[in-house]
Amino acid sequence: MIKIQLPLTPSKKTRSHSVIKRAAHSSILPSIFPITLNFEDFTPSTMRGKHILVLGATGRLGTQVVNQALDASYHVTALVRSDSNLPFTRYQLRNPNLVIRVGSVLSRSDLEKVMEGQDAVINCIGPRLFNNNDIDICSRSQQYIIDSMIHHGVRRLIVVSLQGVGDSSNTRLSSMQKFFGRLFTGKILDDKEMQENLVKKYSDQIDWTIVRPGRLFNGNLTNQWKLNDNLSYTKISRANVACFIMKELRTSAWLKQTLTINT
């Protein structure tokens, strides 16, 4: 792992940018690239433009959100569990608009240090497969996220949930499909429902949108989807969900609403 030591002379305001820039031009990218940034060495970007915090940024959907946000010239901060094996390209890692921070969404202290200066939070957090310790990660982390947002005056929040939560469970599935679906995803759906209820509880302080996608897959971006067709439970590409999220970030057309999205 490469640890990037900060110089003693630059001001704090320019430290994070210089670290990313020097790391980006390193000749040892990207297979052993992981960036190690200490919290005390970072101050939020003061560059003009939209600043967003992406949580769950190294997941397959979160990566799509980061990619499309960078393409749209957003300033993106990604809070990640580990800086090894980052799923970003060499080009993206060289982008000065991307700041990668190592920390935990279950740490209020870690969240405080990435929340300051943000305009919006996109929450793509989900449990890791076959890890029972993560089964309630969505509801447990959401309270810390909301508390930090309120503390720093960040109002805009887009949360990715699941189709099957709440009233979106009324889909064209056979009884057998519903039974086995609930058997394998029941605890995740319960946790997502707790997360959604927690977000809605703070409607007077948080401008939220909850997105419930159908079955996600790694397909192409087509810019085609169906919203709130609860009788449909079809696949939708992660690229399309990320595209909708970025559109909603710009328009706030579904402010304080919950919606399903399918192809």
Residue 227 has a pLDDT of 94
Topology given in CATH for the domain delimited by 51-262: Rossmann fold (3.40.50)
pLDDT band, residue 24 (cuts 50/70/90) = very low
Mean pLDDT, residues 231-240? 84
Most confident range (mean pLDDT) of 11-25, 107-121, 177-191 is 107-121
Residue 251 has a pLDDT of 96
| pLDDT, greater one: 127 or 36 | 127
CA separation for the pair 11, 59 (Å, rounded): 34
* Res 183 pLDDT > 50: no
Mean pLDDT, residues 150-154? 98
CB 92: neighbour CB atoms within 10 A? Answer: 19
Long-range contacts of 147-153 (CB under 8 A, 24+ apart): 147/108, 148/108, 148/111, 148/112, 148/115, 149/115, 149/121, 149/206, 150/202, 150/205, 150/206, 151/112, 151/115, 152/112, 152/115, 152/116, 152/117, 152/118
What distance lies between CA 192 and its chain's CA centroid? Answer: 15
| pLDDT, greater one: 156 or 21 | 156
Domain residues of the chain, as ranges?
51-262
